[in-house]
Amino acid sequence: MALNITYQIIKKHLLSGELTPGAEIAIAIDQTLTQDATGTMAYLQLEALGVDRVQTELSVSYVDHNTLQNSFENADDHRYLQSVAARYGIYFSRPGNGICHQVHLERFGAPGKTLLGSDSHTPTAGGLGMLAFGAGGLDVAVAMAGGPYYLKVPEVVKINLTGRLAPWVGAKDIILEVLRRLTVKGGIGRVMEYAGPGVKQLSVPERATIANMGAELGATSSIFPSDEVTREFLKAQQRESAWSALEAEPGARYDEELTINLDQLEPLAACPHSPDAVRTIKAIGPVPVDQVAIGSCTNSSYHDLRLVAQILKGKVVHPRVSLVVSPGSRQVYQMLARDGILEDLIASGARILEAACGPCIGMGQAPPSGGVSVRTFNRNFPGRSGTADAKVYLTGPAAAAATALTGTLTDPRDLGDPPAQPAVAVIVDDRMIIAPPENNREVEVLRGPNIKPLPRQVPLPEQLKLPVLLKVGDNITTDHIMPAGAKVLPLRSNIPAISKYVFASIDESFPQRARESGGGVVVGGENYGQGSSREHAALAPMYLEVKVVLAKSFARIHQANLVNFGILPLTFTDPADYDRLEQGDILVIDAVHQQLKQNTLTISNVTRGWSFAAAHALSPRQVEIIRAGGLLNYTRLKS
């Protein structure tokens, strides 16, 4: 059978299982990446696994999230990350070197390889022809220790790009159109594979923008062919030897096909408060704007920021607008400085931030109260910006720059003809990436007082009798469950401290009620746990003794994280039962271990005197992980 690109890579890396959609398989992982918001916990877990050195071809630790050092916690974590990377044979990208996805694309990614990262936007590397997955830190730790990565064989959707982009229409508009058509649930259980003549006109950074926001579809991954465009990108990075051609075999099978005629696309924006609330900018109209933020792992390449500077050159941003720009990497920053682009940005009134995630995860630059922010980022969930009542629109860099000048949401086509984009030489300077020493056993791992021992889950009991602690609606994100931002992110290696913020934006009393109840159940709607891969959204509830999450459906990464930390994810067999449950109801599951042998369990609501059915989609391996009390316990039992 002719294979698409996705199945070619899976087949090459397959360790166990069959290439049947929905079946669980194990694949080998070539490369891993972590970032500092998730990395400290991932490396604590790696240490707990007892290995001497990572077993992957390449592992990289990046510092790009918690770069604001308001107090000692982040600096201590960075010191721990650098020392633990040296101890276990991991490359370390120092603070200031850039955002993990941009730097990995530039310096480490390779077509045809598998990449596992403790960040939901790891599929950015699909723009280079990698099969890349976002996962929880524990899955990444296991892969670094030489273990396989388990996943269900995804369906593969062919997104056929035809025609040619009109002036001022860009890669961001392509992925926003995909989100408009498929929604934030449209990619669940699927890989988005891009094809067609329209692919040839997209540079690797543009392809990466599209692959990056596949995470907003809920997709397992997104991937592009590796062609001459890919080769030229790697050649410019002085890494042409990493290139290999990769395309779907003639007649390859796909589960669905979607065609986007690029000729028909207009500049688009995602409206508050979801990446799939997409409309044309013309239809939205001239919304007054208070802030414009350009950068993040989605649109911070040299090409993106040069275009912004060309639009702003010789002008000054609107008096009402605060404009901030964050380059994606040190390489991009250096090239902007060399070519005079940084000077043009500064002269326009832009505030230049460091090469880091920054405002995208609420680390500074929060909009004013009730303010409107236009951002080139990938998520606009409520409160993610750091301001609870802000309204965030997502656009491409051209629209963002035009908006910064006019003070209202602006279609870049109003600017006239677009500027030329000449090719330039790439600066290659890896001195901010520290290679691990050969004598890694002699390295001392440095731990600050904020780094606490990894909490342990107990094995699953035979009976669960638990209160419903909280009932929430559809599309609950990991930002709802475990907020980011400058206040909370420094506590990522201190689970007792960070657990005080679980569901803080929904119900500040949740942590205290969970502790007083000795744990319980969380009830959710559709697509529970969408968004970030942050395993703290499972780890902190586990610390609060949440035993079950009962939802209408789950986002892929969060469901896997719940299993990894011994929290049982169940779905309603009859969605109407969701409406009958109330906070405070006592639920009982008898003979849990026996019932887990079947796909359906019976749950009794002893408060209201009725029973209902709930299902699990766990593989036999995952059932054993749940019974053991999580992946660490399971791994120890198997070793």
Contact between 593 and 568 (Cβ < 8 Å): no
This prediction's pTM? 0.94
Q: Which residue from 102, 152, 153, 125 is spatially nearest to 31, judged by alpha carbons?
A: 125
- Distance from chain centroid for Cα 195: 23
The whole-number pLDDT of residue 67 equals: 87
Residue 487 has a pLDDT of: 85
> Which pLDDT value is given to residue 263?
97
- The arrangement of strands across the sheet holding 221-223 comes to 221-223, 190-195, 155-162, 256-261
Q: Which residues contact 291 (CB under 8 A, 6 or more apart)?
A: 321, 322, 323, 324, 365, 367, 368, 371, 372, 373, 374
Q: How many other C-beta atoms lie within 10 A of the C-beta of residue 638? A: 9
Whether residue 356 contacts residue 328, with contact meaning beta carbons closer than 8 Å, is answered with: no
Q: Contact at 8 Å (CB) between 159 and 123?
A: no
Cis, peptide link before residue 303, omega less than 30° from 0: no
Q: How many CA atoms lie within 13 A of 503 on its CB side?
A: 22
In which residue are the tokens 């500064």 written? 346
Structure tokens at 625: 């992980």
Read off φ and ψ for residue 158, nearest 5 degrees.
-90, 120
Q: What is the pLDDT of residue 361?
A: 87
Domains in the chain with CATH codes: 5-264 (3.30.499.10), 268-415 (3.30.499.10), 464-638 (3.20.19.10)
Tokens 């960040």 belong to: 119
Q: What is the pLDDT of residue 635?
A: 87
DSSP class per residue in 300-369: -SHHHHHHHHHHHTT----TT-EEEE--SBHHHHHHHHHTTHHHHHHHTTPEEPPSS-GGGGTSS-PPPT
Distance CA 151, CA 531 (A): 18
Give the separation between CA 376 and CA 401, rounded to whole angstroms. Answer: 10
Please count the residues of the chain. 639
Could you report the average pLDDT of every consecutive run of 10 residues in the chain (639 residues)?
97 96 96 94 93 97 90 92 98 97 98 97 98 96 96 97 98 98 96 98 98 97 98 98 98 97 98 97 97 97 98 98 98 98 98 94 92 97 92 98 98 95 95 96 94 89 97 95 88 93 95 95 96 91 97 95 97 97 98 96 97 96 96 85
- Alpha-carbon distances of 616 from 211, 553, 596, rounded to whole Å: 30, 10, 8
Report the pLDDT value the prediction gives residue 454, as an integer from 0 to 100: 85
Distance CA 376, CA 385 (A): 13
Taking a C-beta distance cutoff of 8 angstroms, is the pair 62, 90 a contact? Answer: no
Cβ contact 30:248 at 8 Å: no
CB neighbour class for 14 (10 Å; exposed up to 12, middle 13-18, buried from 19): middle
Please compute, for residue 608, the number of CA atoms within 13 A of its CA located in the half-sphere on the CB side: 15
The pLDDT assigned to 11 comes to: 98
Q: How far is CA 356 from CA 44, 64, 184, 340, 581, in A?
A: 23, 5, 25, 21, 43
Using DSSP, state whether 599 is helix, strand or coil. coil
Q: How far is CA 315 from CA 343, 368, 414, 625, in A?
A: 12, 24, 16, 59
d(CA 612, CA 601): 8
